[in-house]
């Protein structure tokens, strides 16, 4: 069921498309947009479903694929890359038991890569559910993931 109050909070103008998609995704507790969401937005804004789908799949913050309760976005841009992002990726994949782009079988974490998070001064950086974490190394990652696992 698409929350119509989220749609009606904004005038049915195409310029509100991105904002509406973000609010639908973030307010759903699912971390992704369903087919039903895309269709409802297309009808509300009177644009094609393909146009909505195009935007929903263009921006990495949005997803049309089911994701975990917590989305980990690890920076893969040059500064973090030079500061050790490939090694941090391997540690995260090992801790979570999934590869980049996958969701843990318990549905708790999705591991994704991201363009620069704007926190190059604390590289290697990642974001979990909108919260930044920097200067990542093996002990820091174990501590952060452990904290999320304990809820």
Residue spans of beta strands (DSSP E) within 35-129: 70-75, 109-114, 126-128
Number of residues binding to ligand FES, judged by CB under 6 A:
12
* Interacting positions 80-109 with ligand FES (CB under 6 A): 80
In the chain, DSSP assigns E strands to 70-75, 109-114, 126-128, 131-133
93 vs 99, 104, 105, CA distance in Å? 5, 10, 13
Please list, in sequence order, all residues whose beta carbon lies within 8 angstroms of the beta carbon of residue 139, skipping any fewer than 6 positions away: none
* 123 belongs to the binding site for ligand FES (CB under 6 A): yes
What is the per-residue binding string for ligand FES in 48-87, x denoting contact by CB under 6 A?
---------------------------x-xxxx-------
Q: How far is the CB of 82 from ligand FES (least distance, A)?
A: 9
- Tell the smallest beta-carbon distance from residue 121 to ligand FES (Å): 8
Binding site for ligand FES (CB under 6 A): 75, 77-80, 116-120, 123, 125
């Amino acid at each position: 069921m698409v929350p119509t109050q989220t749609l009606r909070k904004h005038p049915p103008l195409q310029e509100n498309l991105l904002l509406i998609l973000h609010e639908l995704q973030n307010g759903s507790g699912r971390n992704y947009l369903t087919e039903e969401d895309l269709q409802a937005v297309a009808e509300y804004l009177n644009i094609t479903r393909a146009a909505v789908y195009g935007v929903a799949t263009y921006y990495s913050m949005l997803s049309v694929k089911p994701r975990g309760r917590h989305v980990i976005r690890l920076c893969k841009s040059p500064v973090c890359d030079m500061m050790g992002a490939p090694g941090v990726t391997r540690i995260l994949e090992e801790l979570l038991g999934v590869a980049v782009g996958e969701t843990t079988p318990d549905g708790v974490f999705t591991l994704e890569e991201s363009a620069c998070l704007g926190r190059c001064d604390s590289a290697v950086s990642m974001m979990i559910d909108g919260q930044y974490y920097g200067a990542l190394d093996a002990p820091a990652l174990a501590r952060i993931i452990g904290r999320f696992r304990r809820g």
